[in-house]
A and B are shown apart, each in its own frame.
Chain A
């Protein structure tokens, strides 16, 4: 990667408008605040997320990493008491602009959740649902192609190609999660958000999903929230550490895990938080 190492190290040093930092930026957040009623859940978070890069959000429970992730495709809109301030832009377009249709936005920014949540429909319908409702296809053959290629990209094709009509809920947990990833990529998103995608999976299914994340990085910008620091270290190139609603430190993953700058990061990754 041709990036100036250490150019952006801490949230404090961060300058969102610096030309050099913007070059490869897919998502740019500037002074984002999130409130749940009176609770200030995200405090003044500014971060640039690079294209075709896996960025991991880590931090203790309740630190705001999932809340912030959900801001990136406006999932928080569905929560009445939730209020988001500041600017979040994808490809320099403000996603909170009143002109933006959240449904279209979520097609562009797909999401995979902690627990695999396939629709109670066939494997084929699970994957074809998105392209159909978004009107991305006109002919059945096109839909067949999208289903096949999405399942291939998700590394599930070989395992399910002979039983596309079986229910998605009948697959194993790991297969269900890869089905959800196939469903997410079927609508050709540019960004994929993953909220602890492996926490309900066994180590082998986890390894398959991690392998998949690595392959998907070529074509997508991926942001993953994970409680497993080893997973963050394995799959991501950039890591951001959140604590009590603050973005404490963001940097190259290898630096964060071998030589973090902030004491709070150091305490968290080494297992010293009381």
Chain B
């Protein structure tokens, strides 16, 4: 899109998009470290991951403040207005992604023992990989203002949900086999849920990117199934 007559306005919007990219990169790295810490039982890495989440919160506040200032100063319209709205929502989602990762890292410290099952670790790792790919792809879509990519990414969340559901069943089996597994398995269950939620945030971001580019909302036509086995067609 061509530039604003007032060039400082372009500068402000570019800086906000830059801050979103920074948040995105940080969120990816926090998620990746939290899960590494879980797989390798690295308590030091877990603690540093918890500490780094604070930076995401700070960035969120900074983006919110900048957005408020742009609204007050420029009264954005059309695409600019949608971009500001999308940036606010996306920053919120990224901050929540950080919270999810932080929660995983806290559970690493709470579990403080080796994982009972190699298979579980692989499942969690695989799910994390998918969630991170989604997050990366959706942030690229935001930067490129690519609505088609956003639609595609949103359609891929089902795979993460499916892995989560199978992990859920597996964890139930372990708990039934030996009640001594329950503590660890319950923590792992929450870890898996957190990662699955990261996928949901990536989906939210995809919907916001679509709105930002097209000005219309994506219709919520994907039936969702979670571990409860109850289909949910309610919109996000």
A111→B78 CA distance, assembly (Å): 31
A271→B2 CA distance, assembly (Å): 10
A270→B82 CA distance, assembly (Å): 11
**Contact code string A244-274 (vs B, CB < 8 Å = 1, else 0):** 0000000000000111100001110111111
A260→B215 CA distance, assembly (Å): 9
A274→B5 CA distance, assembly (Å): 6
Cβ distance B144 to chain A, nearest Cβ, rounded Å: 19
A164 within 8 A of B: no
Nearest A residue to B1 by beta-carbon distance?
A: A272
A230 within 8 A of B: yes
Contact check, A271 vs B216: say whether CB atoms are below 8 A apart: no
Contact check, A270 vs B77: say whether CB atoms are below 8 A apart: yes
A272→B7 CA distance, assembly (Å): 10
A205 within 8 A of B: no
Counting chain B CB atoms within 10 Å of each CB, the highest count among A265, A266, A274 belongs to A266
Q: Which residues in B have their C-beta under 8 angstroms from that of A229? A: 75, 77
Given the interface pairs A258-B215, A259-B215, A274-B5, the reply to whether A269 lies near B75 with Cβ below 8 Å is: no
Kindly count the residue-residue contacts between A and B in the assembled complex, taking CB atoms under 8 Å apart: 43
Cβ distance A253 to chain B, nearest Cβ, rounded Å: 11
Given the interface pairs A259-B216, A272-B1, the reply to whether A266 lies near B78 with Cβ below 8 Å is: yes
Q: Which residues in A have their C-beta under 8 angstroms from that of B77? A: 229, 233, 257-258, 269-271
B146 within 8 A of A: no
A273→B9 CA distance, assembly (Å): 13
Contact check, B5 vs A273: say whether CB atoms are below 8 A apart: yes
Q: Which residues in A have their C-beta under 8 angstroms from that of B75? A: 229-230
Nearest A residue to B75 by beta-carbon distance?
A: A230
Cβ distance B10 to chain A, nearest Cβ, rounded Å: 9
Give the contact-size bracket for chain A.
10 to 19
Contact check, B78 vs A259: say whether CB atoms are below 8 A apart: yes
Contact check, A272 vs B216: say whether CB atoms are below 8 A apart: no
Counting chain A CB atoms within 10 Å of each CB, the highest count among B4, B6, B76, B77 belongs to B77
Q: Which residues in A have their C-beta under 8 angstroms from that of B81? A: 257-258
Q: Which residues in B have their C-beta under 8 angstroms from that of A273? A: 5
**Contact code string B15-27 (vs A, CB < 8 Å = 1, else 0):** 0000000000000
B178 within 8 A of A: no
| Chain B positions 57-112 with a Cβ under 8 Å from a chain A Cβ | 74-82
Contact check, B5 vs A271: say whether CB atoms are below 8 A apart: yes
Contact check, A260 vs B78: say whether CB atoms are below 8 A apart: yes
Nearest B residue to A260 by beta-carbon distance?
A: B78
Interface residue from B79, B215, B216 paired with A270 (Cβ < 8 Å):
B79
Given the interface pairs A258-B81, A258-B82, the reply to whether A271 lies near B4 with Cβ below 8 Å is: yes
Cβ distance B2 to chain A, nearest Cβ, rounded Å: 5
Q: Which residues in A have their C-beta under 8 angstroms from that of B216? A: 259
B3 within 8 A of A: yes
A257→B216 CA distance, assembly (Å): 13
Counting chain B CB atoms within 10 Å of each CB, the highest count among A259, A270, A273, A274 belongs to A270
Q: Which residues in B have their C-beta under 8 angstroms from that of A271? A: 4-6, 9, 74, 77
Cβ distance B223 to chain A, nearest Cβ, rounded Å: 28
Q: Which residues in A have their C-beta under 8 angstroms from that of B76? A: 270
Contact check, A257 vs B5: say whether CB atoms are below 8 A apart: no
Given the interface pairs A258-B215, A259-B215, the reply to whether A266 lies near B6 with Cβ below 8 Å is: no
Nearest B residue to A274 by beta-carbon distance?
A: B5
Contact check, A272 vs B82: say whether CB atoms are below 8 A apart: no
**Contact code string A164-201 (vs B, CB < 8 Å = 1, else 0):** 00000000000000000000000000000000000000
**Contact code string A16-57 (vs B, CB < 8 Å = 1, else 0):** 000000000000000000000000000000000000000000
Interface residue from A230, A233, A257, A272 paired with B4 (Cβ < 8 Å):
A272
Cβ distance A248 to chain B, nearest Cβ, rounded Å: 13
Contact check, A272 vs B3: say whether CB atoms are below 8 A apart: yes
Besides A258-B215, A271-B5, 20 new A-B residue pairs in contact (Cβ under 8 A), listed by A number = A229-B77, A233-B77, A257-B77, A257-B78, A258-B77, A259-B82, A259-B215, A260-B78, A266-B78, A270-B4, A270-B76, A270-B78, A270-B79, A271-B77, A272-B1, A272-B3, A272-B4, A272-B5, A273-B5, A274-B5
* Top 6 closest pairs, chain A to chain B, by CB: A259-B215, A269-B77, A270-B78, A270-B80, A269-B78, A266-B78
Between-chain CB contacts (< 8 Å), 21 pairs: A229-B77, A230-B75, A233-B77, A257-B78, A258-B77, A258-B82, A258-B215, A259-B78, A259-B82, A260-B78, A265-B78, A266-B79, A267-B2, A270-B4, A270-B76, A270-B78, A271-B5, A271-B9, A271-B74, A271-B77, A272-B2
